Amino acid sequence: MYDLPEEFWWRWPINTTECHEGGYLTYNHSLLSGIGKVINAEDGLFLTWHFSLFSSLYNRLKRSRKRIRDPSLASLFIVPYDLSLDGYVTRDTCRNKRSCTKDLPSKLTEILTASSYFHRHYGQDHAVLWSLGQYHPWPRAGCDLFMKRTCANCTFTCYWMDATIADNNFISVPFPSAYHWHNKIVHIPWKAVKNSPQRNFTVVYLGSTKTLNPAHTKIRRAMTTQCNSSRLCHWAQIGHSSIDVSIADHLSLYRKSVFCLCPPGDDPARKAVFDSILSGCIPVIFEVATLFNQYPWHIGEAVAQDIAVNIPGGQVRSGRLNFMDVLLNISAEVIYSKQRAIERLAPRVQYAVPPLQLLEDRADESPWDPPFRDGVDVLLDGMFNRTERLLLNQRTGVPSRVMKASAWSQLYDEVIVKEPVE
């Protein structure tokens, strides 16, 4: 990992009044080195912002015992620049923007171009922690050029990748959920309990009907209409906002529900999918690119079918299918099998955090790894494997199969309720 000055890896806003009055996020999201304010330590629940992927990964990667200080021995290089946060949030007002800090990308370009290790393989063994979707508009003022030119061969993490591109260098990885394992956690939220009395809701949806994508908005409107018509479906309306303070207050509903509705938002990907999984709630997916052809290193298509229910969003939108009829006909045995599959998957799609006292000092780099493989361990294995394949001039295998978007949509234009095999 490059040892960059703090200005590159700490782009969170300063604590100002403006940040608490209508900004894009609040100062509380930056607490504990960007993991966010503790909501319930015993449950591992934090106020983790949905674009805080960089902080979630960086806090683990810099402490990982796989990190070495001698670059001549390294097979993978992490570039610790939080360009998503730098390019989208104004530090003094916390409001949205789309422009990186002047001269910061050019400084980073100078550092990399002066490195013999960057030139050795033209950046193919370098990785950048991008906290947005593959096609999210790139920030101007140099970040766009950094991604397009300087680091054109680098691996980029993202929340949603184009599954039609062979050997894609944008790899989708899980959103940072509000739940993180830490050494003082008492209640594991994803633990499967057969016929749990705690799960006294059948179906829950947290969200709004509004998105920036007209097709997705129509799916949400039809879905919520069907939800409202059933006494077994509960809709907690949350505004279309990037500030998820109120969402943390509602997350307990996921732990009380059997099924959690996860329609697409502005993009197909949603943080709600991972909040659902880590709450032990079965995600109900309405768009193939929300889950089934994403997260190749952490989940994969087969496991995605194990843990989720696929409902064709287009059929809901047209009124040809009532999703509640599908969910209410799933047997208790299949439900419990899916809950068990979620329990097996959950540790590796969440980002564990070190003892909280270490996070109080954002410059701390005390070595620490969780006692099990978490999402960062899976990420590192994927990056090591991808780098090795690239340097051998081999196919990377991401995505696992390449099809046109229309073919993916046709493949999932049917109800899929797969019973996992343990």
74-111 per-residue burial string, b: 16 or more CB within 10 A, e: under 16: eebbbbbbbbbbbbbbeeebbeebeebbeebbebbbeb
- What is the spatial distance between Cα 121 and Cα 385, in angstroms, rounded to a whole number? 15
Strands 38-40 and 45-46, by their bridges, are: antiparallel
Look at residues 74, 120, 119 and name the one whose alpha carbon lies nearest to residue 380: 74
- What is the spatial distance between Cα 129 and Cα 114, in angstroms, rounded to a whole number? 21
Position 242 scores a pLDDT of 45
Tens digits of pLDDT across the chain (422 residues): 999 999 999 999 887 766 766 556 778 889 999 999 999 999 999 989 888 999 999 999 999 999 999 999 999 999 999 999 999 988 887 888 899 998 999 999 999 999 999 999 999 999 999 999 899 889 999 999 999 999 999 999 999 999 999 999 999 999 999 999 999 999 999 999 998 888 899 999 998 888 889 999 999 999 999 999 999 999 987 764 444 445 666 778 899 999 999 999 888 998 999 999 999 999 999 999 999 999 999 999 999 999 999 999 999 999 999 999 999 999 999 999 999 999 999 999 999 999 999 999 999 999 999 999 999 999 999 999 999 999 999 999 999 888 999 999 999 999 999 999 87
DSSP for residue 268: S
**Tally of residues, the chain:** 422
Name the 3-class secondary structure at 257.
strand
Whether residue 309 contacts residue 337, with contact meaning beta carbons closer than 8 Å, is answered with: no
Q: What is the dihedral of CA 278, 282, 285, 290, to 10 degrees?
A: 20
- What is the spatial distance between Cα 332 and Cα 294, in angstroms, rounded to a whole number? 28
Position 306 scores a pLDDT of 98
Position 244 scores a pLDDT of 46
Domain coordinates in residue numbering, the chain: 6-179+352-391, 201-347+402-411
- As given in the structure block, the two tokens for residue 350 are 């969440």
Identify the CATH class of 201-347+402-411.
alpha beta
The residue to which tokens 């061969």 are assigned = 153
- What is the spatial distance between Cα 301 and Cα 63, in angstroms, rounded to a whole number? 31
Whether residue 412 contacts residue 312, with contact meaning beta carbons closer than 8 Å, is answered with: yes
Does the predicted model carry a pTM greater than 0.75? Answer: yes
The backbone torsions φ and ψ at residue 102, rounded to the nearest 5 degrees and listed phi first, read: -55, 130
Whether residue 372 contacts residue 350, with contact meaning beta carbons closer than 8 Å, is answered with: no
Position 49 scores a pLDDT of 87
- What is the spatial distance between Cα 415 and Cα 422, in angstroms, rounded to a whole number? 22
Position 388 scores a pLDDT of 96
Strands (E) in 57-99, as ranges, are 77-79
Question: In terms of DSSP H, where are the helices of 35-121?
Answer: 53-61, 83-88, 104-113, 116-120
Question: In terms of DSSP H, where are the helices of 209-260?
Answer: 214-228, 245-250, 252-256
